[in-house]
Amino acid sequence: MKVSTFSRIDSKSLGYIFLIFVFYCIGCDSQKKKGTDLTELTYIPSGILGLPDIPVPKNNPQSNDKVSLGAKLYSDKRFSSDGTVSCATCHKPEQAFVDKLKVSKGIKNLTGTRNAPTVLNAVYYKSQFWDGRRNDLEGQSKDPLLNPVEHGLSSHDDLIKVVKSDPEYTSRFKSVFGIDSDSIQIDHVAMAIASFERTIVSGNSPFDRYRFGKDEKALSESAIRGLNLYMGKARCQDCHTIGETYAIFIDDKFHNLGVGFKRIQPKLEEILQKKAESKNSPTSDEEILTNLESSELGRFAVTGVSEDLGAFKTPTLRNIALTSPYMHDGSLTTLEKVIDLYDRGGETNPFLSSGIRPLGLSGQEKADLLSFLKSLTSPVLPSMPK
């Protein structure tokens, strides 16, 4: 009676199976690329008020030499096709590790589709990039090098050639990783850059002194009212979470606020159909930064789950007053505009995250929230190691 499961497959079904297979392989492949995610973490104390311990992969322990090598690599403009772009170009150490531009400029002044997030406290994210397409700093650091609108290298070998030809690098790689020039690979470069970025943390803001340092005078009356709004009526706490003993102001999740989404919504059906039929999914780093349609799909471009349409990662709020403009596309120039966006319940669309809704804040309440956000600025920001 019973016929085996795959006994009757028509050609259409075969097509779908193939499609699923392709998706699956790409999915597996992208998981493999994130291999370092499987590494266990150890934690080292941050020693900074308001910050939790810093997670460090066991296979990439911190050392002073590695951090300073990472810092040098981070600032090296030779790792771009026209010699103009380093990591520090868009994540400027002297500007709270952002570039203050709407969307970043890469080689030949080419622009991408997304606002450069700060490196400050990026170590605490469980995924990197606005759509979380990399799981750690090591994985993140390699992608912009190859992106045609960022560093524009044709392959990581371009970078390795530069490193190998520079005696200072070869001797430092030798002392940090114990490897000869021939064995230097992009992963070593990524590990060094990530180690450097793990030192780019900042806390001890007036808010931290008030909340975790028991200094009741650290915040103004207005900022304290703002904090209460933040926890209650303004509904900030649920995503930009403040913990019991520390705060990194994130939930490690992705949300659709409707920002930028209306640009693609009328064509959404067409875009998704194209994506389902194309073999380039999950979407590549290059496509996300060069194709506005793919970019605005947000987290969906990584997962393919309809729930993730137009959803972007919750960013930290630490030093938020220093890192304008805001949102994944840099479309909001001031914090006032960001508060207004939330107050009106985001930009209405069918995939709007369900915690987002009109808040009915008064002018005074908005001003109080703003004072609170400004209290998240650290008095001292980390700088480049000498």
Partner 1 sequence: MDDRLTFKDRYRSRILLGVFASVFFFIFGTVSLLFADDWDKSNEDKWNAAFMETVARGEKLFHGPELGGNTVQCAMCHPNATNTHPETYPKFQKQIGKVSTLREMINWCIQNPLQGKPLAYDDPKMIALEAYIMYERRNSVLAPGKH
Partner 2 sequence: MEEGKLSRKDFLRRTGGLLAASIVPMSLVEIACGGRGKGTHEKFTFAFISDPHLTHIKGTNFVRNFDNGLNKAIETVNLMFPRPDFVVFGGDLAQLGKREELDHGMELLSKLKVPVKFVIGEHDYYLDMGNYWQDKISKLNYSFDHKGVHFVVLNSILTYDNWIKRWKTPEERMNEMARLDNPNGSPFMVGDDQIAWLKKDLEDIKSGTPLVVLSHSPLYKIYKPWNFWTDDAEQIQSVLSKFDNVTVFHGHVHQVLYNQIKNISFYALMSTAWPWPYPESYTQSPHYIPKMTVFMNRQDPFHERDGTGWAFVNMDNAREEMHYKLWENKDRIVKYDESAGHPVDSTYQKPETRILPQTHY
Residues flagged as binding site: 87, 90-91, 236, 239-240
Spell out, one character per residue from 210 to 249, where the chain touches partner 1: x when CB under 8 A holds, - when not: ---------------------xxx---xx--xx-x-----
Cα 83 from chain centroid (whole Å): 25
The least distance separating partner 1 from the CB of residue 355, rounded to whole angstroms, comes to 10
Residue 214 binds partner 2, judged by CB under 8 A: no
Rounded to 5°, angle at Cα 128 from 143 and 324: 100
Residue 44 binds partner 2, judged by CB under 8 A: no
With 0-12 CB in 10 A as exposed, 13-18 as middle and 19+ as buried, what is 255? buried
Pairing of β 54-57 and β 41-44: antiparallel
Q: Per CB under 8 A, which of residues 116..135 are in contact with partner 2?
A: 126
State whether residue 300 is helix, strand or coil: helix
Q: Given the complex with partner 1, which of 44 and 231 has the nearer CB atom?
A: 231
Residue 282 binds partner 2, judged by CB under 8 A: yes
Residue with token string 């931290």:
208
Q: Given the complex with partner 1, which of 297 and 361 has the nearer CB atom?
A: 361
Residue 273 binds partner 2, judged by CB under 8 A: yes
Query: d(Cα 131, Cα 296) in Å, to the nearest integer?
Result: 10
Helix 64-74, helix 167-177: angle, nearest 10:
150
Residue with token string 């001797």:
171
Residue 40 interacting entry, from partner 1, partner 2, none, C-beta within 5 to 8 Å by type: partner 2
Residue 244 interacting entry, from partner 2, partner 1, none, C-beta within 5 to 8 Å by type: partner 1
Provide CB contacts within 8 A for 25, sequence distance 6+.
Answer: none
Ranges assigned E (strand) in 304-356: 312-313
Query: d(Cα 363, Cα 251) in Å, to the nearest integer?
Result: 28
Residue 94 binds partner 2, judged by CB under 8 A: no
Give me the residues that bind partner 2 (CB under 8 A), please: 1-3, 5-9, 12-14, 16-17, 19-20, 23-24, 26-28, 30-31, 37-38, 40-43, 55, 126, 235, 238, 268-269, 272-273, 276, 281-282, 303-307, 350-355, 357
Give me the residues that bind partner 1 (CB under 8 A), please: 231-233, 237-238, 241-242, 244
